Amino acid sequence: MPEVRNIDTRERILDAAERLFMAHGYDGTSMRQITGEAVVNLAAVNYHFGSKESLMQEVFRRRLGWLNEERLRVLDEMEAAAEGQPLKPSQIVDGFFGTLLRLAGDESHGGMVFLRLLGRTHTEPSEFIRTFLADEYAGVMERYKQALFKALPDVPRAEIVWRFHFMLGATSYAIAGTDALRLVADWNIEELDTVDRIDLLLPRLMSFLLGGLRAPLPQFAESAEASDAKAA
C-alpha cells in the first residue's frame, strides 16, 4: 500500500487521481483504484468531489488556473515591451506552447505527470472533458489568437485558426509520450526513450510548430462546379 504522505486528504486524492488518470486514462481508472492510491475511503472522495467527473475537473482546474495565468502574464509582458507593435510569431508560439512545456520541470504545478495527463486527455478526450477544457482555455485562446492575427496580417484568419489547431494537436501528441509512436511504427529512433528531457523536446517541437505556422498558404484544387463552369 502506498505510503500516506503528510498532506491533507483533498490534495492526496487529487494527486492520486492525477497519476492514475495519466497512466490509465479517465475511462480506465476506477474509483477503487483512486481510493487505494490515495489511502482513503470512497466516502472521503464523495465528500470532497461528489463524483468521478467532478474529481477529474478539479484535477485539471488546480493546474490550468496557474498555467493560464502564466500564459497571460507572459503575453502581457511581451505586448508591453512591443509598445503596440506586432509580436514575432516565435514569441507567441513560445508564450503559449513553451510555457506549457516548461511546466514539466515545475513539480509544484504538476510537472511531467500533469503534462502527460494533458497530452493524453487531448488525444483521447471524453465529451465532458472536451467541453470543460474549452471553457477553461477560452480567455487565453482568444488573447493568443488575436496576437497571431496581428502578427500575421497577410495570412487569412481562417488559415491561422487551422494552423493553431494543428499546432495544438502536434503538441498534445508530443507530450503524451512515445507509446503512440511505437504503436504506429517500429522505428528505432535514437533518444526515443528521452521524451522526458524537455531540453530536447522543447527546441524540436518549437522548430516544427514555427515551420507549420510559416508554411506557404495552401493551394486548393478547384471545385468540380468551378471546373464545369469554365469548361462550359
Lowest-confidence pick of 83-87, 104-108, 159-163: 104-108
Instruction: Say yes or no to pLDDT of 185 above 60.
Output: no
Contacts of 167 (CB under 8 A, 6+ apart): 93, 97, 209, 212, 213
**Rounded to the nearest 5°, which phi and psi values hold at 119?**
-60, -45
Say if residues 90 and 98 touch (Cβ distance below 8 Å).
Answer: no
- How sure is the predictor about 176, in pLDDT bands with cuts at 50, 70 and 90? confident
The predicted model gives 184-190 an average pLDDT of 56
**Rounded to the nearest 5°, which phi and psi values hold at 87?**
-75, 160
The pLDDT tens digits for 23-35 are 999 999 999 999 9
Q: What is the pLDDT of residue 5?
A: 47
Instruction: Give all domains of the chain, ordered by start, each with its CATH number.
Output: 1-50 (1.10.10.60), 60-215 (1.10.357.10)
- The CA-CA-CA angle for residues 157, 163, 166, to 5°, reads 150
Contacts of 45 (CB under 8 A, 6+ apart): 13, 31, 34, 35, 38, 55
Instruction: Say yes or no to pLDDT of 38 above 50.
Output: yes
Instruction: Say yes or no to pLDDT of 22 above 50.
Output: yes
- How sure is the predictor about 96, in pLDDT bands with cuts at 50, 70 and 90? very high
Of the candidates 104, 134, 98, 78, the residue with the CA atom closest to the CA atom of residue 22: 104
CA torsion sign, 29 to 32 to 37 to 40?
positive
Q: What is the pLDDT of residue 128?
A: 83
pLDDT above 90 as % of the chain? 60
CA separation (Å) from 142 to 66, 96, 158?
Answer: 17, 12, 14
Q: What is the pLDDT of residue 179?
A: 56
Cell of 117: 495527463
- How sure is the predictor about 184, in pLDDT bands with cuts at 50, 70 and 90? low
Instruction: Say yes or no to pLDDT of 188 above 80.
Output: no
The pLDDT tens digits for 97-137 are 999 998 888 888 889 899 989 888 887 767 888 888 889 99
pLDDT above 70 as % of the chain? 83
Q: What is the pLDDT of residue 1?
A: 43
Cell of 61: 482546474
Q: Using CB atoms within 10 A of its CB, is residue 145 exposed (0-12), middle (13-18) or buried (19+)?
A: middle
